[in-house]
Chain A
Amino acid sequence: MIQSISTNRKYIIIAIFLSVGLIFLARLFYIQVIDDSYFKSAQHNFLRPVTQYPSRGLIYDRKGKLLVYNEPVYDLMVTPKLIKHIDTVEFCGLIGIDKEEFDKKLRLAKKYSKDIPSPFEKQLSKETYGTLMEKLDNYPGFFVQPRTLRRYNDKTAAHLLGDIGEVDSATIKTSKYYRDGDYIGKSGIELTYEPELRGKRGSKLMMVDVHGRLMGSFEKGKYDTLAVGGENLATSMDADLQAYGESLMQNKIGGIAAIEPSTGEILAMVSTPSYDPNLLVGRIRAKNYATLLFDPLKPLYNRALLSAYPPGSTFKIMMALIAQQEGVLLPETRYPCAHGYPPGGGKPACHVHPSPLDLVQAIAYSCNSYFSYVFKSVFDKKQFSNSEESFENWRKHVLSFGFGRKLGVDLPTELSGGVPTIEHYDKVFGENHWKSSTILSLGIGQGELGASPLKMANVMAIVANRGYYYIPHVVKSIGDKKFQFEKYTTKNYTTVNQDYFYVVIEGMEDAVESGTAAASKVKDITICGKTGTAENPGKSHSVFVGFAPKDNPKIAIAVLVEHGGWGADWATPIATLMIEKYLTGTIARPEIEKRMMDGVILPAPKPIVN
């Protein structure tokens, strides 16, 4: 009896022991084999993907001069979960913030994620970085992430080169690539060529210990992807010419565009006032950006690309071409001028010159009366039954020169309008209530007509090429490859036949040789050009368009100085200096150069209204 009880009890005890063992094994089987959440947590615990940021492509000018490069900076990152017993006071002292800011930053980081590192303090200064690195081991949860910022060798071409900044949340949402804290091109070339410049981010799987210290690459880097650096870009810009243009335009408002006619490459694009591109870099970017944004002279605005300026008399070149194409103007055609357009009762007015003139002379002397007749003859051609039809015909010609539409420049934005529409006149004057005399000022580049200096320069490229252009662009090559987008290597013809260009060019040559621009002629360089004095509220804008040399042209240019008065006063000397500089590398007319550089044409500061 007793024996059987003890035998039973022996088995009961063994059964209890074994059942606990079995329960444990069942539990372990669940944790280790069935449920993979623990396995994933383990990976999450000790593996940390460390982003390898690619170096952004460098930017050179057309002669290989380095314009934009990268400078290393360091972001202080934090993984809130790993922070343990740190000396907050010392830490705040090291990075130069107060306790309140520390708490705020930490709260933000925690809100983002407790486990995933996020930036705590961006772009540490070199000094902060140095002192911090010595003590970083005392601050578990914090580490330093190297990044790069842009640096600009010259203070030039800010608008063209553009800038980079942190990607905004809208972009992050729509893009598969960008993540919070990434940099992205914000304007200029940096924006248009963002995909080429940025390269590809890599990732390194690092092992970390419980304190968040990096313990080396996981499985010898088997899962690492290398960052692929961005492609280097060579712009078509001539950095010396650009800088020279900016110095000529200093203390003036306006723009210069220069294009190589045989390729469409933009040699210079000056917009003043400008700013030092280094101002929009890193920690100082936000503050400086605001300052520039609210500057009444709008330094951020790229006038050479975006402004719709009345082309003024420079438009007469296009009128001369269009009228010849329409068969209503011959080189020998003469029109009278009586200090103005006789049928208009002397309006538009004109300056003193011999009369009547033929086409070449009319261009050289920029006769307003002549081109009013020309405009009328184009408009009132018999074949058109009404104003709408003839206007549409005229408009078609104008648009073929690139006015009134986007050219397709490889920059983020450009002027799209500038040429009025039928709807516009119908609205202003009423349907069938307008005719050639109503809109006569279009013929001399006034009225509703507007074009950017780049568009005007492109017209000069067309004239230089005797009838076609390549879409102007700023990038010459990407990486090792020559730039070969079909878009930029295709000839775009205007509606005007090649034959009609020669006489116009002759007029332009005369304009510089003996006409309105004669004061600015350059020895040994045949410049073909046309001055303009573009009327607008306030003093007229000083305009000049031209190209040189006459044969085998190397540069087409447009210069506009706001409120500079006569075209010959400012725009013409500046343009010819640019041409001289580009073609010869030196300046034979230092006194003119000095006068241009010293000239100040700025609006009087507005009185401060309380």
Chain B
Amino acid sequence: MRENKSILQHIDWVMVTLYFVLITMGWMCIYASVYNEEHNKLIDFNLNHGKQLIWIGAGLLIALLLLIMDGKFYSAFAYIIYGVTLVLLIIVLLVGRRVKGSQSWFEIGSFKLQPAEFAKFSTTLALAKFLSNPNIKLKQNKTKLYAIALLLLPIALILLQNDTGSALVYFSFIFVLYREGLSGNYLLLGFAAIVIFILALLVDKITLIIIFGSIVLAFIVLVRKTKRNIFSLVGIFLICSGMVLSVDYVFNHVLQEHQRTRINVLLGKEQDLKDKGWNVHQSMIAIGDGGFFGRGFLKGSQTTFDFVPKQSTDFIFCTVGEEFGFVGVFVVISLFMILLARIIFIAERQRSSFSRIYGYGVASILFFHIMVNIGMTIGLAPVIGIPLPFFTYGGSSLLAFTMMLFVFIRLDAHRLQVLS
């Protein structure tokens, strides 16, 4: 009793409130995407919005359980949870159900579970556990390798399920590693890699290399001509040129046909108004239809008449855009940003490095989902089918994000009992 009371006193109500506001809005959007003349009942367990209500109920129950659990539990059992998840990822490859080309679903009765969604949570726990060990230092290459191995295991298993989108999410841990001491150059390198990849696809390769060469030459002229400076500049030039030249190979041989198409559509090199390109086109039309104030709840024409594909899952943001307009998307993006900032703020106040690292992991994963999902609906990111946290219809992602967030809330509530 006493324990529980103190938890209620110490949990961060800002995050809890944000969570409730977001899932409520998410549920409204799912209802709106289902809604039409025939399907207008607020509660109908045969339809997406009704089912989601069950998942929300389940999520709240689990959140409560997670809050009641001992704060030390998550740190202590991090590797075990991670291990169990890996086993699940292997089992799903063997007995899982194939949905739209991905072998990533367990089917239990009429419900489906996607272990990859939970793997994000458990990997965050494991990474936090590993990096919070006071004896290890990220500067050491051995540590980096271990950390990367920790991430690569679930990535590999998820890639085997043919779920590229979920695997890409693990790139977001670069923020966590950066916070914990990884050189900022990696972040820059990652950013540069993306820029070079895009430029190499859009601009002639030789021209690009000449431009890089000129820039490097200019630097060599400007900076002090120490051996070290010249050496690193030439090195950067060689790396960039190598990347430019390898882009074609990666693009043509590593990526699959549909991935190439999505990237080409995103870059405007290919007009594909039938398949994926059509999705994005319709999505932008729906969002544009919202205008400043939106069409009003349940009044979006594009969503009501099914012009937007996957409107309760991947493209649920369109409903926000069309029915609530710029005001709506401003509110939703702001809420997400406040949540992210709040998580980081709270992570920073943790005494335990496990809690802090875990917090950063949660923020990074949420950020990656938000960036890619919303970016995709407005044509700023390639079409990668990953859910918008708390909005997208589906039990697994809702439960996984709920667990992630509430474990963090529990850890935070526990922080005063932790000796730094």
Contact = CB atoms under 8 A, between A and B. Distances in A.
B129 to A, nearest CB: 19
Contacts of A211: 306
Given A42-B289, A209-B306, A27 B378 contact: yes
Nearest to A36: B288
A23 B341 contact: no
Given A17-B367, A45-B302, A35 B288 contact: yes
B287 interface: yes
Given A9-B179, A32-B325, A20 B367 contact: yes
A36 B284 CA distance: 11
B368 to A, nearest CB: 10
Contacts of A207: 301, 305
A42 B288 contact: yes
A25 B334 CA distance: 9
Chain B interface size range: 35 or more
Contacts of A28: 287, 321, 326, 329-330, 333, 378
A29 interface: yes
Nearest to B281: A41
B78 interface: no
B378 A31 contact: yes
Nearest to B327: A32
B323 to A, nearest CB: 12
Contacts of B326: 28-29, 32-33
Contacts of A14: 340-341, 344
Contacts of B290: 32
A205 B184 CA distance: 58
Contacts of A16: 175
A13 interface: yes
A400 to B, nearest CB: 69
Contact of B179 (A6, A37, A43, A47): A6
A173 interface: no
Interface string A33-61: 10111110111011100000000000000
Nearest to A23: B380
Contact of A38 (B287, B333, B334, B336): B287
Does more than half of chain B's interface fall in helix, strand or loop, or is it mixed? helix
Contacts of B37: 215
Nearest to A215: B305
B380 A27 contact: yes
A42 B329 contact: no
B344 A10 contact: yes
A227 interface: no
A31 B179 contact: no
Contacts of A66: none
A609 interface: no
B287 A31 contact: yes
Contacts of A215: 37, 305
Interface string B338-381: 00110010001000000000001001000100110011001110
Given A208-B305, A210-B307, A25 B333 contact: yes
B416 interface: no
B24 to A, nearest CB: 21
A29 B292 CA distance: 8
A479 interface: no
A13 B305 CA distance: 40
A9 B186 CA distance: 13
B381 to A, nearest CB: 10
Interface in B35-51: 37
A21 interface: yes
Interface in B270-301: 282, 284-292, 301
Contact of B348 (A10, A21, A38, A47): A10
A18 interface: yes
Interface centre among A24, A27, A36, A46 (most CB of B within 10 A): A24
Contacts of B337: 17-18, 21
B178 A32 contact: no
Contact of B288 (A17, A39, A47): A39
A27 B286 CA distance: 14
A13 B289 contact: no
A45 B285 CA distance: 9
A31 B291 CA distance: 8
B286 A9 contact: no
Given A6-B179, A24-B375, A27-B380, A38 B344 contact: no
Nearest to A7: B348
Contact of B344 (A13, A27, A31, A42): A13
Nearest to B308: A210
B136 to A, nearest CB: 15
Contacts of B325: 32
Contacts of B360: 13
Interface in B18-66: 37
A12 to B, nearest CB: 8
B307 A46 contact: yes
Nearest to B375: A24
A43 B321 CA distance: 15
B362 to A, nearest CB: 13
Given A13-B178, A46-B307, A207-B301, A32 B333 contact: no
A33 B292 contact: yes
A38 B285 contact: yes
* Listed residue (A35, A39, A42) with the most chain B CB atoms within 10 angstroms of its CB: A42
B175 A39 contact: no
Contact of A21 (B284, B321, B333, B363): B333
A210 B301 contact: no
Contacts of B284: 31, 38
Contacts of A46: 301-302, 305, 307
A300 B336 CA distance: 78
A17 B286 contact: no
Contacts of A33: 291-292, 326
Contacts of B333: 21, 24-25, 28
A125 B178 CA distance: 74
Contacts of B306: 209-211
A42 B178 CA distance: 43
B288 A41 contact: yes
A17 B326 CA distance: 20
B305 A25 contact: no
A28 B307 CA distance: 19
A79 to B, nearest CB: 14
Interface string B152-185: 0000000000000000000000010011010010
A340 to B, nearest CB: 89
Residue of A17, A28, A207 with highest tally of chain B CB at under 10 A: A28
A20 B371 contact: yes
Given A17-B340, A25-B333, A32-B325, A210 B305 contact: yes
Contact of B330 (A5, A25, A43, A210): A25
Nearest to A210: B306
A211 B329 CA distance: 28
Contacts of B179: 6, 9-10, 13
A27 B329 CA distance: 11
Contacts of A41: 285, 288
19 contacts: A6-B348, A13-B178, A24-B329, A24-B333, A25-B329, A28-B326, A28-B329, A32-B290, A32-B325, A38-B287, A38-B289, A41-B285, A42-B288, A45-B285, A45-B302, A45-B307, A207-B305, A208-B305, A210-B307
Query: A-B pairs with the 7 shortest C-beta distances?
Result: A38-B288, A42-B289, A209-B305, A210-B306, A41-B285, A46-B301, A21-B337
Given A23-B380, A45-B302, 15 more contacts: A12-B184, A13-B178, A13-B360, A16-B175, A18-B341, A25-B333, A32-B291, A33-B291, A33-B292, A35-B288, A39-B289, A41-B288, A45-B285, A46-B305, A46-B307
